[in-house]
Chain A
Amino acid sequence: DAKTTQPNSMESNEEEPVHLPCNHSTISGTDYIHWYRQLPSQGPEYVIHGLTSNVNNRMASLAIAEDRKSSTLILHRATLRDAAVYYCILRDGNFGNEKLTFGTGTRLTIIP
């Protein structure tokens, strides 16, 4: 499985935008970029995913570099409830490659 690299931790002020980076220099053409987050004492929660184009949903935006070797998860206005570990995951789009391979993620702290 292709690997991703994320900072171990980040801090952000409440009500400000947060940009969480992810490097994936060995990404293949069929790899989707997925983001999940895990709040304390909960199971992971899907945030967003994309292949080549930038994506937006109600939770966040995903900006994908033109060469796809990096991406950024954008939380437009952080709240205290966004404090979590954020995982950037590459998932092969070929049928049968079902599993998610988690790294250690980025622990996001929100400062009130």
Chain B
Amino acid sequence: DTAVSQTPKYLVTQMGNDKSIKCEQNLGHDTMYWYKQDSKKFLKIMFSYNNKELIINETVPNRFSPKSPDKAHLNLHINSLELGDSAVYFCASSPLKGLAGVGGQQFFGPGTRLTVL
């Protein structure tokens, strides 16, 4: 069973379009995240949600809007796509910090490769 899943795996689209990436975790975790990995493999956190509430919002353009319909899902909607949005987007989840001694370990999805033409 996949712990953290993302769809689609690949997304190719034109500049100016609006697109969504979906993420689901079946681990019962309270916290979910979105990270962006650019072409140089640099990883940066974009958002985190704790039990459907936005906690971290790093300096991300407001064209990016995370949506958490329930604890198990955190979707990423991107409006007016730009060339610079091309990257691999990773979803992750973790249990509440301090629980079960797991050290705040984050479980990552397989990534969604977004290409904007």
Q: Do A and B come from one complex?
A: no
B residues bordering A, Cβ < 8 Å? none
State the A residues within 8 Å of B (CB).
none
